[in-house]
Amino acid sequence: MNAAVLAVAGLLLYFVAMRVYARWIEKRVYEMDNDEPTPAHETPDGVDFVACNKHVLFGHHFCSVAGAAPIVGPAIAVIWGWLPALLWVVFGTIFIGAVHDFGALALSAKRGGRTMGDIAGEILGPRAKLWFLGIIVLLTWIVIAVFAFLIAVLFGSPKVGVPQAVWPVNFEIVVAVLIGWWIYKRKGSLLWPSILAVTALYVVVFICAEHPEWGTLPPSLHLYDSPIVTWIVFLLVYSYIASVLPVRILLQPRDYINSHQLFLGLGALLVGIFITNPEVTAPAFNTNVDPDAPPIIPLLFITIACGAISGFHGLVASGTTSKQLNKMRDARTIGYGGMLGEGLLALVAILAVTAGLGSTAEWNAKYASWKEVGNSGIGNFVAGAATFLKPIVFGNEALAKTVVAVIVISFAATTLDTAARIQRFCLAELGQSFGIKALKNRYLAAAIAILPAAWLAIFTDGGRGPGSGGFILWPVFGTTNQLIGAITLLVLFFHLRTRKRPTLPIVIPLVFLVVMTTMAGVRVLLGQIEARNWVVVTFGSLFLILQVLVFLEAWRTWRSGRNTPVPGS
């Protein structure tokens, strides 16, 4: 099978979905109307509630949701074959993920920019809010730990690290702060400074590509004798600062710059696929899967979480994006369209690791071991995607790898600090529920968001040594991510039911996710008990217990026939 043909087929399906299905959802299901004011106009505060241009906000939302997970998940899941992974990415995105993201953004915008956990309390009852917020807080700690770990690996791992990307990524952050000052103090334009920033970024990439030593930490700075631990600490300090700054200072300009360079990079990868015109060398269905690998069903549907459906997207949509929405109908472009963008990234990731790694024999060697695939998935993507970029950068392999690494890290970094900000919001809501006023202090809440994640990333090592927490936490990440997606769809179902709106586009994905996630969660938990990964077992057990409690509250709501009035609807 030709990779370019698969890319074109995916693009066409996404285009039709955006033009037809998304518009039907907007009008018939979610009832979006520009005459209804958004939270950014109702309660502007200059910190979190700030009306934002649709294109700028799309950049923030897309960069925040499209982290490293839609790359890592597909890069692992193709061990079962490229066809199941591709079908799940394309059709899961269109009918589940994009509907979920659009719905979370729309519902939050209609309810004052509140998070999904808070909205769950209004619709399903106060106990459901506590259980759901508990799940969100636990997952967000894992998200922060895992993404800090993944970036640290690309910065500092001796095996798969790309230290050439260190200075370009940090250069981008500094420039974003300067642009934020220019826009909001000098009332300057955002478009041209961001274009100049992207141009300057790629100049820095070109200069650094041949000098990995510039981004390599000296041994004297290695905490616990590990450069990865040092980078984790650096990244989490950055996340703390970014999460308490007003969004106009760093978040909006940084993500607008990122949206330009990420779309440029994604476009370059697609052009590279068409130029190289590679054949897929991986099998459509792998009949020689490593016996240690789990069964494709249900594990495919949690291994590829982001890229098909991700509960974390609902947290972003209701945590930060809804507070910056300028017009209600912008939600279709940002919510549904942003998920299609992530689906496209996941599609490119599949093609990179099935058509960009060489011959069938070379692919079989890289995907012979389930354990090794889990450890090297992101490295396989960087190597495979670099083969697509090589003809565009005149055959310079080092430059191609650096560009790909900067793209991956930029995606992951936006998710990292957005997760820290979301965690701050959730802790404040928990504080309100329990009467703990101190949690409304954004500096204290941000510290509580970061410190447990730091412990998880550094010390949850599973015997491998400090700084390997990402590998240990990954199994429960996918399961819980899908679980939150299912609960968000559950809240959407009750919201639509009280308004007598069509619920079938929600019910089918909801049932599918509940069944697959529960099956996968139990299997992962049993496997971690056998492996004696007690931290993962604890988190996994808590997630399953809280899931049951949320659905019990939903059952009580259904039995009671309670209709909850919707403010401002």
**How do residues 355-400 score in pLDDT, each as one tens digit?**
999 899 999 999 998 878 876 778 889 899 999 999 998 889 899 9
- Confidence label for 93 from pLDDT (cuts 50, 70 and 90): very high
- Residues with Cβ < 8 Å from 248, sequence gap 6 or more? 46, 50, 180, 183, 184
Kindly report the pTM of this predicted structure.
0.87
Q: Distance of CA 526 to CAs 206, 341, 473, 476, 536, Å?
A: 47, 35, 15, 11, 11
What is the rounded distance in angstroms from the CA atom of residue 520 to the CA atom of residue 535? Answer: 18
Q: Does pLDDT of 258 surpass 60?
A: yes
If you write DSSP's letter for every residue of 7-26 in order, what string do you get?
HHHHHHHHHHIIIIIHHHII
Q: Does pLDDT of 324 surpass 50?
A: yes
Q: Residue 53: its pLDDT value, please?
A: 85
- Confidence label for 286 from pLDDT (cuts 50, 70 and 90): very high
Q: Does pLDDT of 447 surpass 70?
A: yes
Q: What are phi and psi of 283, to 5 degrees?
A: -75, 150
- Which DSSP letter does residue 178 get? H
234-249 pLDDT per residue, tens: 999 999 998 888 877 7
- State which of 34-38, 183-187, 251-255 shows the largest mean pLDDT: 34-38
Q: Residue 3: its pLDDT value, please?
A: 96
Q: Does pLDDT of 461 surpass 70?
A: no
> In this structure, how many other beta carbons lie within 10 angstroms of the beta carbon of residue 309?
32
Q: Which domains does the chain have, with CATH numbers?
A: 3-17+51-560 (1.20.1740.10)
53 or 21, which is more confident: 21
Q: Residue 560: its pLDDT value, please?
A: 81
325-351 pLDDT per residue, tens: 999 999 999 999 999 999 999 999 999
What is the rounded distance in angstroms from the CA atom of residue 81 to the CA atom of residue 86? Answer: 9
Q: What is the dihedral sign for C-alpha 138, 139, 144, 146?
A: positive
Q: Residue 463: its pLDDT value, please?
A: 53
Portion of the chain with pLDDT greater than 90, in percent:
51
Alpha helices in 367-437 (DSSP H): 370-389, 397-434
What is the rounded distance in angstroms from the CA atom of residue 193 to the CA atom of residue 51? Answer: 20
3-class DSSP string for 69-81: HHHHHHHHHHHHC
The mean pLDDT value of the chain amounts to 88
Q: Residue 255: its pLDDT value, please?
A: 72
Round the CA-based radius of gyration of the chain to a whole number and report it: 22
Q: Residue 159: its pLDDT value, please?
A: 77
Q: Residue 408: its pLDDT value, please?
A: 86
- Confidence label for 60 from pLDDT (cuts 50, 70 and 90): confident
What is the rounded distance in angstroms from the CA atom of residue 231 to the CA atom of residue 204? Answer: 20
Q: Residue 569: its pLDDT value, please?
A: 42
- Confidence label for 410 from pLDDT (cuts 50, 70 and 90): confident
- Across 309-313, 319-323, 458-462, 513-517, least confident range: 458-462
- Residues with Cβ < 8 Å from 137, sequence gap 6 or more? 423, 426, 427, 430
Task: Kindly state the average pLDDT of the residues 535-557.
Answer: 90
The length of the chain is 569
Task: Kindly state the average pLDDT of the residues 448-455.
Answer: 93
